[in-house]
């Protein structure tokens, strides 16, 4: 008989969480450790990693801090050589430059593409190869609601998130026969250091809150349930999917409630 209580158990699994220094990445690292995974906590900025490792240990988990720039293929290779074989990859980093498309210059365009799309590609390619050789693994990439819905000033960011989603679907098709699953998560608006400037503008902050069915922003820990689900055997038949954790943002059509 299948042991349903073990579906979310990550004991004996090794996870690499990139972007673990803050926000959703930090929460994901702590959450995976709480369910038993050994977590390699990686970030280009090491300042927040000590706090992440402390939080991992406070949950009774194990992990270590690693410096990693996912835009550097050689650096990714060196980091992976120092890790135990990975069962789980979580990739969260991205940047956005809020400008109309006609005002965005080539340097800004390349900066967004270089991290969000190219960096994700390099990371999933390097980790995916090892997982394919071992015949197991779960790759979890972060997209966004902007993969399917946009607003002024987010054209290139949205394009990268749509691109990540399509790359993940292609990799899911390619690695499925080898036992590797690949999925993306699309958060809505989440309170993180990246979105802090919006919180300082009450009208903008409230407009985003009102757009969701739940009428509020998410906290990073509210995204972790989906991460753990996709990392675990609970999602053993889930691959190539875009999983929304958006408070109903993409389900609600517009902000105006008509008289009914």
Containing structural domain, residue 150? 11-243
Provide the domain count of the chain: 1
pLDDT score at 257: 65
As a dihedral over the C-alpha atoms of residue 197, residue 252, residue 166, residue 122, rounded to 10 degrees, the angle is 20
160 lies in some domain: yes
pLDDT score at 46: 86
Set 4, 38, 40, 157: catalytic member: 157
Mean pLDDT of the chain: 95
| Alpha carbons 138 and 127: distance in angstroms, whole number | 10
pLDDT score at 68: 98
100 lies in some domain: yes
260 lies in some domain: no
| CATH number of the domain within which 102 lies | 3.40.50.720
Please state the rounded mean pLDDT for residues 38-43. 98
Res. 258: pLDDT tops 90: no
Over residues 63-116, the pLDDT tens digits come to 999 999 999 999 999 999 999 999 999 999 999 999 999 999 999 999 999 999
Verify whether residue 157 is a known catalytic residue: yes
250 lies in some domain: no
20 lies in some domain: yes
5 lies in some domain: no
| Alpha carbons 233 and 60: distance in angstroms, whole number | 21
For the full predicted model, state whether its pTM sits above 0.75.
yes
Please state the rounded mean pLDDT for residues 231-240. 98
pLDDT score at 196: 85
* Residues near 85 by beta carbon (within 8 Å), at least 6 away in sequence: 14, 130, 134
138 lies in some domain: yes
Q: Where are the alpha helices (DSSP H) in 137-187?
A: 155-175
117 lies in some domain: yes
pLDDT score at 148: 95
List residues bridging with 14 in a β-sheet: 38
């Amino acid at each position: 008989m299948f042991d349903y209580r073990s579906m979310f158990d990550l004991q004996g699994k090794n996870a690499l969480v990139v972007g673990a220094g803050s926000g959703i990445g930090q929460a994901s690292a702590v959450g995976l450790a709480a369910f038993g995974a050994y977590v390699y906590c990686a970030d280009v900025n090491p300042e927040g990693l000590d706090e992440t490792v402390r939080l991992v240990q406070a949950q009774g988990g194990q992990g270590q801090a690693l410096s990693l720039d996912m835009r550097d293929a050689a650096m990714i290779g060196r980091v992976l050589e120092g890790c135990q074989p990975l069962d789980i990859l979580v990739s969260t980093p991205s940047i956005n430059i809020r400008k109309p498309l006609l005002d965005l210059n080539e340097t800004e365009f390349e900066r967004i593409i270089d991290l969000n799309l190219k960096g994700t590609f390099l990371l999933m390619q390097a980790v995916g190869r090892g997982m394919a050789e071992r015949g197991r693994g779960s790759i979890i990439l972060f997209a966004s609601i902007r993969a399917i819905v946009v607003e002024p000033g987010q054209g290139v960011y949205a394009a990268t998130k749509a691109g990540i989603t399509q790359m993940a679907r292609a990799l899911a098709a390619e690695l499925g026969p080898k036992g590797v699953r690949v999925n993306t998560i699309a958060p809505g608006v989440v309170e993180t250091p990246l979105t802090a400037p919006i919180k300082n503008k009450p009208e903008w902050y409230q407009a985003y809150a009102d757009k969701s069915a739940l009428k509020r922003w998410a906290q990073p820990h509210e995204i972790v349930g989906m991460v753990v689900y996709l990392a675990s055997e609970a999602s053993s038949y889930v691959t190539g999917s875009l999983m929304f954790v958006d408070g109903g943002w993409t389900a609600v059509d517009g902000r105006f409630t008509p008289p009914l």
